[in-house]
Structure 1
Amino acid sequence: MEYSLFVKLAAEFVGTAVLLVFGNGAVANVELKNTKGHHAGWVNIAMGYGFGVMFPVLMFGAISGAHINPAMTIAQAVGGLFDWGLVLPYIVAQLLGAAAGQLIVYITYYPHYHETEESEAILATFCTTDAYDNRVNYFLNEFFGTFMLVVGALCCLTMPWGAQDHAAASIVVGFIVWGLVTSMGGPTGPGLNPARDFVPRLLHAILPIPHKGTSRWSEAWIPVVAPILGAIAGVFLYKVFPVA
């Protein structure tokens, strides 16, 4: 069934919002003061992002492809797997969805944002930073993390077993994200998605949160550029495989 452009964009909007609610919501639960999950640990965060990707792919994969990530959209277009005419509308829908999802996180954790005094903990609920404070490390982590995500997701969703059983493939993609956050997430978070980092960082700068500190705009280009380049490399490797 072919869906209208409006329906596809709505799917990208809602899907990206779901990603932010589950992913950054999990970070807020762990990092912010006096939540029920305060200091629950990294596995809790990894689960949040894994489910945050799994559910939109299950819900909207058959409608829009559930890119929910500008890097995925751009990379597929560069690789000839997606219509360039849809790239800008998809990205706009994803950015707006990221804003909606982050605002839901902010609203639901509002009192905890006002109780938390650690600026780094607050910032972590919005965007990524490098734990080593090294931009080369930051870039490489975001590049290779997105590279692994794109190769894994495209292979799972298009190989014969995945194409025949979309639900099973969607679940595996969620586990890929879960695994990536646990294995490669230590240095930066990770972002692996320009919409998941840029828009929440912008909201961090705008929202009136006590003790929030700086939004670290001098390094904000890294979780935008590195995932896009990593995704493009991932698409080209995917096209080498017979399944492509």
Structure 2
Amino acid sequence: MNYTIGQAFISEVLGTGMLILLGGGVVANVILPRNKGFNGGWIVITFGWCIAVMAGVYVAFKSGGYLNPAVVLGVWASGAKTLAPGIDMTATNALLFIVAELLGAFIGAVLVYLAYKKHFDEDADPATKLGVFSTGPAIRSYAWNFITEVLGTFVLVFWVLVSGKTPAQIGPLAVSLIVLGIGLSLGGPTGYAINPARDLGPRIAHFVLPIRGKGSSDWAYSWVPVFGPIVGGVLAGLTGHWFVG
């Protein structure tokens, strides 16, 4: 069934909002004080994001469930002619998808704040509160953090491109499992943004929301989880064009 660009726009907003609500929510549950999931650990976070991706992709069925500007740009670089059934791959349509993803990510982050408002009011390190919204490096080294994000996003986008050629396809569950794998294998150094919207939209929300004791939004690092995934996605698209044909 074909959908209009307007329907696809709303689909990406809702799907990315769901992604961030559940993904940011699991982070909040694990790291903010006095939560029932406090100190649940990295495995809980990675599985929570896995489920968040699956839910977001299902919600965004009208647009193809991109949820990620790096995936949009990677698919474009692969030579695809359409973004979704009935929606041509043009610069305008790609930009609308990306804007929708950023908007959805911002809204999702605001909803996480509302869900955990009383826990944000508790005393906690400002970096912990920022960590609910956006990623940060375990060891700050911009060049190496950038490389990590490039690699993680390359794995995601290249897998998306080649998986459609395999005889066994399990849809959103498969996408969520590859994100789980990336988190478990490559997520440690940077928190695996692998998605410019996932980091930038919530970081903007952190900047504008009246969060008690929130501190800096760490704009000095913010370019890494934006441009690293873009580079990784485009490289994966070009590689996929050569490999898949």
TM-score (norm 1): 0.92
CA deviations 1:36-91 (Å, max 9, x no partner) are 10000111110111111112223434x21111011111222233214123111111
For the residue of structure 2 that corresponds to 1:64, the secondary structure is coil
Relative distance call for 1:158 and 1:107 in structure 2 (3 A) is farther
TM-score (norm 2): 0.92
The answer to whether residue 164 in structure 2 is matched with residue 157 in structure 1 is: yes
Distance 1:60 1:96 in 2: 14
**CA RMSD of superposed structures (Å):** 1.4
CA deviations 1:158-205 (Å, max 9, x no partner) are 43332xxxxx13211111001111111111111011111111111111
Distance 1:36 1:173 in 2: 28
Structure 2: gaps spanning 5 or more residues: 83-88
Between the two proteins, what is the percent identity of the paired residues? 37
1:64-75 alignment, distance < 5 Å: 64-75=63-74
For the residue of structure 1 that corresponds to 2:18, the secondary structure is helix
Relative distance call for 1:119 and 1:70 in structure 2 (3 A) is same
For the residue of structure 2 that corresponds to 1:115, the secondary structure is coil
1:110-125 alignment, distance < 5 Å: 110-125=117-132
For the residue of structure 1 that corresponds to 2:171, the secondary structure is helix
Distance 2:182 2:161 in 1: 15
1:188 paired residue among 171, 179, 190: 190
Higher helix share: 1
Distance 1:64 1:230 in 2: 22
Specify the alignment match of 1:165 in structure 2: none
Which moves more between the two structures, 227-236 or 79-88?
79-88
Q: How many residues align?
A: 237
CA deviations 1:102-154 (Å, max 9, x no partner) are 11100000000010321121111011111101111210111100000111122
Relative distance call for 1:114 and 1:237 in structure 2 (3 A) is same
The answer to whether residue 92 in structure 2 is matched with residue 92 in structure 1 is: no
2:138 paired residue among 127, 131, 135: 131
